[in-house]
Chains A and B, each alone.
Chain A
């Protein structure tokens, strides 16, 4: 399968500042990739390079088989959808007029404007001025804008900032629907909770460098972060019965009389589980694998110690 996005040793320098440092990245068709990192980690620079708003200082960028800053940029841009961070649309226009304007500029069929507004749940507000829209409604209008013309590649910069949890879930459901239709999606975020079920791979950036790249499974394996086990049982002696372990890496803390939390390295997980199930009085076990947030913190801290706090 050909890569929709292909970065080969891409470096971008701005006035002596290295925004992106020799990044290699291949994203294939129909993949959802999350771009994670602190402010100034290079997320937005990466997006701008893909959009052709910036040219690489060194290396090669190919998007949908062409150079986004080259001669075929115009044809390429008709197959891209982009939702920038913090966009406030023309306040004096209605949602429908805004979308109509962008549809004309993208030279796509304006018949889809109504459908798109319905799809993002703005059908009822289509004729109201954008001025009266809430933050979430504006964000959804932005998404509708990005979806104009059925793009092959969708770039979403901090798409869920300012959305409430229900709206965030709706948003990600839309993204999943798009992926199922073969659209490649790149979304940058520093708001991590909720994104996990919807992404195929994550790219963790720090100081312009690639800290980690892979599926959640692969990242968990690579990080070898401990698994958290929460054990509940009948009151009395549960903590004592689970206190002694041969493996020094296992940490035990008792929350209260009938709840104990164990932090267990992944390779010892099964052995620990076996012993717990054999322990008298145990009624319930919760197994909590490291979340994306843990992984993100782990990779940021481990691979970028000298830059902590330096990035903006």
Chain B
């Protein structure tokens, strides 16, 4: 346990020192404030529109950015140390490979968590101060849900990044694969699902279940379902309602999306040769 904390502490301090935390927080805050402010641009206006629109826009922003940030943050977790030669050394230390990977996960998870919370909190504070007539309670609840689910989403992609990082032996390859993963889950999956939705004429009860096959859709479901007024803007995810799509259930599935790739990464890491 101690070793896990030591490794996590080092990763987190690295994240502070090379300004990952600051950079992520600022990017998120800046974009979030921008989106909130120009939310009415589509209808020709300027300024804060409604809380519902804003939250949906912010969730969409998070769907694009959080996975990318998580992958960039963590893709070289193992392969980077391997290239530097420090992995070989660490493996001769009295720590297990599981401890090593879990420690890194904890550290990277904290970096992403702290940065996301900070970034969206800044945005929330700016909105609360600048926008008129916004219900503070609802704003806080909505932002809280956004931050919480964003962190879970980030951890999912950190787990994916680790799976890539233990699988390949070159950093450049890991970076390429990370981008492929981002592209598939964030862009291609949506397009494919949309195409399927349009082409299936009858039946199609099974279609909503496909959403659960993508952690980014789970993230959207949590945010949209968690906020009543957002329902009318939920777009593609509107096909999923009730039953297994209750937020608690979807959250559990998102957690499973963290556990499975991380578990696979651990298995792979323990089995591979040094």
Q: Which residues of A contact B (CB under 8 A)?
A: 48, 51-54, 74-75, 77-78, 80, 82, 84-90, 92, 101-102, 104-107, 145
**Complex Cα spacing A92 to B86, Å:** 14
Provide the residues of chain A in CB contact with B89, threshold 8 Å: 82, 84, 87, 102, 145
Q: Which residues of B contact A (CB under 8 A)?
A: 2-3, 6-7, 10, 14, 17-18, 84-86, 88-96, 273-274
- Contact status A54-B274, CB under 8 Å: yes
- Contact status B274-A48, CB under 8 Å: yes
Minimal beta-carbon separation of B143 from chain A (angstroms): 33
Among candidates A54, A84, A92, residue contacting B14 with C-beta atoms closer than 8 Å: A92
10 A–B contact pairs at CB < 8 A?
A53-B273, A74-B96, A80-B92, A84-B88, A86-B85, A87-B86, A87-B89, A89-B84, A102-B89, A107-B2
Provide the residues of chain A in CB contact with B3, threshold 8 Å: 105
Provide the residues of chain A in CB contact with B6, threshold 8 Å: 101, 104-105
**Complex Cα spacing A228 to B265, Å:** 60
Minimal beta-carbon separation of A20 from chain B (angstroms): 15
Closest to A87 in B: B85
- Contact status A87-B84, CB under 8 Å: yes
Minimal beta-carbon separation of B23 from chain A (angstroms): 15
Provide the residues of chain A in CB contact with B91, threshold 8 Å: 53
- Contact status A53-B88, CB under 8 Å: yes
Provide the residues of chain A in CB contact with B96, threshold 8 Å: 74
Known pairs A80-B92, A87-B89, A89-B84. 18 more at Cβ < 8 A?
A52-B92, A53-B91, A53-B273, A74-B94, A74-B95, A74-B96, A77-B92, A85-B85, A86-B85, A88-B84, A88-B85, A89-B86, A90-B84, A90-B86, A92-B17, A102-B89, A105-B90, A105-B94
Closest to A91 in B: B84
Closest to A82 in B: B92
**Complex Cα spacing A87 to B81, Å:** 10
- Contact status B92-A51, CB under 8 Å: yes
Going nearest first, the 8 A-B pairs with the smallest beta carbon separation are: A87-B85, A53-B274, A77-B94, A104-B6, A74-B94, A82-B92, A51-B92, A78-B94
**Complex Cα spacing A191 to B6, Å:** 37
Minimal beta-carbon separation of B20 from chain A (angstroms): 12
Minimal beta-carbon separation of B30 from chain A (angstroms): 26
Closest to A52 in B: B92
- Contact status A106-B14, CB under 8 Å: no
Minimal beta-carbon separation of B269 from chain A (angstroms): 14
